[in-house]
């Protein structure tokens, strides 16, 4: 079986249609040429086919239930539970990370364990805490062995995250780590090149600041000073939107 045939079979198994651009090859959902909006359309189409309300119409309760019951990608078979999100659903700040790890999968809450403790310290330094912000991930199920999420997995989960952003309507967003930053900014640039500036989240025009993931900081503690700079930038951005 060719690589193209394997990809088509994988997409068909996920019930995600392959998109054909004019004068362009078929693009796998979540791939470098596909926008977040197209990924949203892919999974929304699968939702409609399943005769369920589109994700974009769900309230908080229905959205949480959909995430917990989701079987849109193979990760549902290996996870303990979906990790929906935590915090203030009317928050001015929203923090978005990559994916649940082992402890998050066990507790059902994003950013717990050592990385979560460091994130709490970062929030405290910025004068807030996880009860005042809202914290979510790009995908809601833990990838095996904490590997990077695959394009099809990201495409399956993006509509849930986008709906969370719509319901919260935060004034600023902090993108935590490479996967979150590259996915939502539709970029291939490294975190070091994306941080230090204010971006606009495609599809929302919400100001977004990029920073390093706490798990990375545990391995590279000398980078913590840069995160403090990112938090100050986020604070200034928030104040400028008042």
Domain with 84 in it: 3-240
Residue 105 exposure: Cα atoms within 13 Å on the Cβ side = 17
Secondary structure letter of residue 22 according to DSSP: T
pLDDT tens figures, 102-151: 999 999 999 998 999 999 999 998 889 999 999 999 999 999 998 999 99
Contacts of 242 (CB under 8 A, 6+ apart): none
Residue 53 pLDDT exceeds 60: yes
User: What angle do the packed helices 60-69 and 151-168 form, to 10 degrees?
Assistant: 160
Give mean pLDDT, residues 229-242.
92
Q: How far is CA 144 from CA 91, 102, 226, in A?
A: 31, 9, 30
Give mean pLDDT, residues 227-233.
95
Closest CA to 181 of 168, 193, 163: 193
Band of the pLDDT at 241, cuts 50, 70, 90?
Answer: confident
The predicted model scores a pTM of: 0.79
Query: Strands 199-200 and 19-20: what pairing?
Result: unpaired
Residue 16 pLDDT exceeds 90: no
- For the chain, the domain total comes to 1
Closest CA to 43 of 164, 161, 156: 156
Band of the pLDDT at 52, cuts 50, 70, 90?
Answer: confident
In this prediction, residue 50 carries a pLDDT of 55
Task: Give the domain CATH number at 107.
Answer: 3.40.470.10
Average per-residue pLDDT for the chain = 84
Maximum distance among all Cα pairs of the chain, rounded to whole angstroms: 56
């Amino acid at each position: 079986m060719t690589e193209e045939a394997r990809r088509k079979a994988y997409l068909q198994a996920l019930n995600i249609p392959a998109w054909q651009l004019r004068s362009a090859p078929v693009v796998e959902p979540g791939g470098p040429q596909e926008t977040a909006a197209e990924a949203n359309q892919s999974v929304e189409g699968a939702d409609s086919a399943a005769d369920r309300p589109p994700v974009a119409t769900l309230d908080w309760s229905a959205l949480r239930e959909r995430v917990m019951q989701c079987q849109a990608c193979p990760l549902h078979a290996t996870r303990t539970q979906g990790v929906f999100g935590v915090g203030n659903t009317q928050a001015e700040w929203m923090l978005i990370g990559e994916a649940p790890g082992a402890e998050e999968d066990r507790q059902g809450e994003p950013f717990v364990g050592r990385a979560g403790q460091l994130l709490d310290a970062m929030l405290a330094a910025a004068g807030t805490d996880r009860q005042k912000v809202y914290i979510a991930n790009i995908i809601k199920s833990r990838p095996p062995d904490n590997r990077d999420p695959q394009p099809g997995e990201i495409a399956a989960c993006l509509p849930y995250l986008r709906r969370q952003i719509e319901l919260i309507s935060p004034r600023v967003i902090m993108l935590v780590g490479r996967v979150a930053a590259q996915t939502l900014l539709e970029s291939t640039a490294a975190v070091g090149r994306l941080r230090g500036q204010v971006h606009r989240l495609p599809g929302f025009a919400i100001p977004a600041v990029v920073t390093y993931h706490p798990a990375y900081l545990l391995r590279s503690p000398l980078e913590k000073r840069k995160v403090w700079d990112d938090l100050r930038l986020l604070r200034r951005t928030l104040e400028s939107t008042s």
